[in-house]
Structure 1
Amino acid sequence: MLLSAAIVTTLLCFCSLLPASGQDCPSRQEIQGSLKQVQKLLSAHEASYLQSLHNLKKKINLLHSNAGKQTTRTTNSTCPKLDAPVNGRKLGKSQSIGHEVHFLCDPGYELVGSESRVCQESLTWSGQQTTCRDINECSSSPCLNGGTCVDEVNQFSCVCAKGWAGATCQSPVPTSTAAASTLPAATTGPFVRPSRCSIVQGTTHCTCEPGYTISGRDSVTCTDIDECELFHNGQAGRLCLHACVNTPGGYRCSCPVGYNVTRDGRSCKDIDECATRQNNCTKDQMCINTYGGFQCVRVECPKIPNATYVKTSPMRCERNPCPVDNKACSQTPNSFSYHYLAVVSNLSAPRVMFRVSALRPIGDTLRFSLLGGKQARRHFTVQRSDRVTGQLMLVTPVQGPASLEAEVEMSELEKRVQLGRYITKVTMFVSQYEF
Structure 2
Amino acid sequence: MLVSPVLVVFTFVCSCTFQATSGQDCRSRQDLQGSLKQIQNLLSAHEAAYLQSLRNLKKKINLLQSSAAKPTTKAINSTCPKLDAPINGRKLGRSQCVSHEVHFLCDPGYELVGPETRICQEGLTWSGQQAKCRDINECASSPCQNSGTCVDEVDQFSCVCAKGWTGETCQNPVPTFFTSTTNTSSPSTASSSSSSAAAAATSTAATPGAFVRPSRCSTVQGTTHCTCEPGYTISGRDSSVCTDVDECELFHNGQAAKLCLHACVNTAGGYRCTCPAGYNTTRDGRSCKDIDECAARQNNCTKDQMCINTYGSFQCVSVTCPKIPNAAYVKTSPMRCERNPCPVDNKACSQTPTSFSYHYMSMVSNLSAPRVMFRVSALRPMGDTLRFSLLGGKLARRHFTVQRSDRLTGQLMLVSPIQGPATVEAEVEMSELERRVQLGRYITKITMFVSQYEF
TM-score w.r.t. length of structure 2? 0.66
CA distance in 1, matches of 2:164, 2:382: 72
Task: Quote the residue 2:383 is aligned against.
Answer: 363
Q: In the superposition, relative to structure 1, how do residues 338 and 179 fare at CA in structure 2: closer, same or farther (>3 Å)? A: farther
CA distance in 2, matches of 1:349, 1:376: 14
Structure 2 unmatched runs, 5+: 1-72, 180-197
Match of residue 414, structure 2, among 386, 390, 394:
394
Q: In the superposition, relative to structure 1, how do residues 388 and 163 fare at CA in structure 2: closer, same or farther (>3 Å)? A: closer
**Partners of 1:79 and 1:124 within 8 A in 2:** no
Task: Quote the residue 2:430 is aligned against.
Answer: 410
Task: Quote the residue 1:331 is aligned against.
Answer: 351
Asked which structure has the greater RCO (Cα within 8 Å, sep 6+), the reply is 2
CA distance in 1, matches of 2:288, 2:219: 47
Task: Quote the residue 1:24 is aligned against.
Answer: none
**Partners of 2:84 and 2:91 within 8 A in 1:** no
**Residue identity in the other structure for 2:342:** C
Task: Quote the residue 2:276 is aligned against.
Answer: 256
Task: Quote the residue 1:301 is aligned against.
Answer: 321
Deviations, residues 18-37 of structure 1 (Å, cap 9, x unaligned): xxxxxxxxxxxxxxxxxxxx
CA distance in 1, matches of 2:347, 2:85: 46
**Partners of 1:231 and 1:238 within 8 A in 2:** yes
The alpha carbon displacement at 1:387 in A equals 1.1
SS in 2 for 1:219: strand
Corresponding position: 1:245 with 2:265: yes
Deviations, residues 37-64 of structure 1 (Å, cap 9, x unaligned): xxxxxxxxxxxxxxxxxxxxxxxxxxxx
Q: In the superposition, relative to structure 1, how do residues 90 and 172 fare at CA in structure 2: closer, same or farther (>3 Å)? A: farther
**Partners of 2:392 and 2:427 within 8 A in 1:** yes
- Matches of residues 48-67 of structure 1 in structure 2 within 5 Å? none
CA distance in 2, matches of 1:428, 1:99: 21
Match of residue 267, structure 1, among 283, 287, 291:
287
CA distance in 1, matches of 2:315, 2:150: 39
Moved more, 230-239 or 300-309: 230-239
Deviations, residues 280-302 of structure 1 (Å, cap 9, x unaligned): 22222221111111112221111
Corresponding position: 1:379 with 2:379: no
**Partners of 2:381 and 2:432 within 8 A in 1:** yes
- Matches of residues 309-320 of structure 1 in structure 2 within 5 Å? 309-320=329-340
Q: In the superposition, relative to structure 1, how do residues 397 and 127 fare at CA in structure 2: closer, same or farther (>3 Å)? A: farther
**Partners of 2:148 and 2:160 within 8 A in 1:** yes
**Partners of 2:382 and 2:432 within 8 A in 1:** yes
Task: Quote the residue 2:149 is aligned against.
Answer: 149
The alpha carbon displacement at 1:377 in A equals 1.5
CA distance in 2, matches of 1:331, 1:387: 23
CA distance in 2, matches of 1:127, 1:409: 28
Moved more, 196-205 or 219-228: 196-205
Moved more, 401-410 or 282-291: 282-291
- Matches of residues 35-434 of structure 1 in structure 2 within 5 Å? 84=86, 88-89=88-89, 91=91, 98-104=101-107, 110-111=109-110, 114=113, 117-119=116-118, 125=128, 130-132=133-135, 135-136=138-139, 139-141=142-144, 149=149, 151=151, 161=163, 180-233=200-253, 237-434=257-454
CA distance in 1, matches of 2:164, 2:278: 39
CA distance in 1, matches of 2:264, 2:316: 32
CA distance in 1, matches of 2:216, 2:163: 23
Identity %, equivalent residues = 66
The alpha carbon displacement at 1:91 in A equals 4.0
**Residue identity in the other structure for 2:134:** T
TM-score w.r.t. length of structure 1? 0.69
The alpha carbon displacement at 1:235 in A equals 9.5
**Partners of 2:265 and 2:271 within 8 A in 1:** yes
CA distance in 2, matches of 1:235, 1:330: 55
Deviations, residues 162-218 of structure 1 (Å, cap 9, x unaligned): 999xxx99698999xx98443232233111111122233343222211111111140
**Residue identity in the other structure for 2:149:** C
- RMSD in angstroms over aligned alpha carbons? 3.8
**Residue identity in the other structure for 2:330:** V
Structure 1 unmatched runs, 5+: 1-70
The alpha carbon displacement at 1:366 in A equals 1.0
CA distance in 2, matches of 1:91, 1:313: 11
